[in-house]
Amino acid sequence: MKIVETFATTRGLAAGIVGLVPTMGYLHEGHLSLVTRARRRVDTVVVSLFVNPLQFGPGEDLERYPRDIERDAALAADAGADVLFAPGVDEMYPEPPVTRVTVDPLGEGLCGRTRPGHFTGVATVVAKLFAGIGPDAAWFGRKDAQQLAIVRRLAADLSFPVTVHGGPIVRAADGLALSSRNLYLSGEERRAALALSRGLMEAADAVAGGETDGPRLEAMVRAVAGEESRVDLEYAELTDAASVTRLHRVDRPSFLAVAARVGRTRLIDNVHFDPRPGGGYEPDRGVRLVGRGMLQGGA
Ligand code: AMP
């Protein structure tokens, strides 16, 4: 695997069908599951690693975001990446960008309410990666469900010839959705954070049993999160998976999304609901790690 810092070198190494997995680094099995998926489908797998200042707000964790390129390089190579594109800020933004990509109204709800400008930062850097690398396909995690909807829409609206794929949420064995930010959690906070996935799994059970009422599903998540004093819930919302608008009933592809602060750490999680062929809705609970590096459920 080659480690490169410029768009031009990345393009030079991109042979055949090219797949891109954009990340902010500090890779875990969630990222690596996307690399594995890309590896099965394309000739050249490019993993990008860039902690994008444009998507962090004032007072957020840009400076303390974990960084370890040697560790990331070893993990990406192991998972089958061909190129690790790790640009500096000067390569990504030779000048502060005055051209920005805004995907309103998909970026206004959910996390957009407390992170103004965040999704414009995400959409702008993704558009730059698509334009600068020219991948045929790109893989994003359903962990960031709002982001995935935004990326799909930006690719369609701006006519990027990129097929956008979503991958299931990878969870630790106890249910916690993997995130580079989990590193910030103390032992007590990590235990408390499990209330989020527990609440979502309860709601998933209810949907599997035929429940479709949005407010009742949201209330289940709120009740479980409310049992943990360390969990400060920001939202629990049933959301249309394409338009990212509030839904009152599970009657189309949708997700139940949560965001919460646990101590100083902001966490998000969700469960997707897709129509079943025979009627009803299938919850996608993600996949759980069963041991170090072993994925269960076909990630
Ligand atoms: P990040 O480095 O957090 O920006 O994430 C890079 C990509 O990995 C995004 O498409 C995320 O949605 C995806 N991702 C992060 N965590 C997970 C996870 N636990 N399961 C699946 N995908 C994930």
| Residue 31 Cα: closest atom of ligand 1 | 8
* Ranges under pLDDT 70 in the chain: 291-299
Query: pLDDT above 90 covers what percent of the chain?
Result: 97
Residue 22 CA to residue 66 CA, distance in Å, equals: 16
The angle that helices 118-133 and 145-157 make with each other, rounded to 10 degrees, is 50
Q: Tell me, what amino acid is at 32?
A: L
Distance separating alpha carbons of residues 217 and 247, to the nearest angstrom: 11
Mean confidence (pLDDT) of the chain: 96
| Vertex 274 angle, CA 164 and 115, to 5° | 60
- pLDDT at site 292: 55
* Among 224, 220, 217, 233, residue whose Cα is nearest residue 268: 233
What is the reported pLDDT for 293? 52
Compute, in angstroms, the gap from residue 22 CA to the centroid of ligand 1.
9
Burial of residue 29 (number of CB atoms within 10 Å: 0-12, 13-18, 19+) = buried
Angle in degrees, 0-180, between the axes of helices 214-226 and 187-208, rounded to the nearest 10: 150
Please give the pLDDT value at position 124.
98
Q: Using alpha carbons, select from 273, 275, 149 the residue that is nearest to residue 214.
A: 273
The residue type at 284? D
Ligand 1 centre to CA of 10 (Å) is: 22
Write out the two tokens for 90: 């000067």
What residue's CA is closest to ligand 1, atom 18? 30
Per-residue pLDDT of 255-285, as tens digits, reads: 999 999 999 999 999 999 999 999 999 999 9
The CA R_g of the chain, rounded to the nearest whole Å, is 19
Helix (H, G, I), strand (E, B) or coil at 10: helix
**Cis upstream peptide for 277 (omega within 30°):** no
Strands 18-23 and 281-284: unpaired
Q: Determine if the pTM surpasses 0.95.
A: yes
Q: Cβ distance 199 to 235 under 8 Å?
A: no
Q: Which atom of ligand 1 is nearest to the CA of 168?
A: 21
User: How far, in Å, CA of 49 to CA of 84, rounded?
Assistant: 7
Q: Which of 85, 126, 144 to mutate to test the pocket of ligand 1 (most atoms within 8 A of CB)?
A: 144
Q: What is the pLDDT of residue 296?
A: 42
| Ligand 1 lining (C-beta closer than 6 Å) | 23-24, 30-31, 33-34, 140-141, 143-144, 167, 169-170, 177-180
Q: Give the atom of ligand 1 at the shortest distance from the alpha carbon of 170.
A: 20
Q: Measuring CA to CA, which residue among 247, 250, 203, 238 is closest to residue 224?
A: 203
Cross-strand pairs, 240: 254
Query: Residue 297's pLDDT is what?
Result: 40
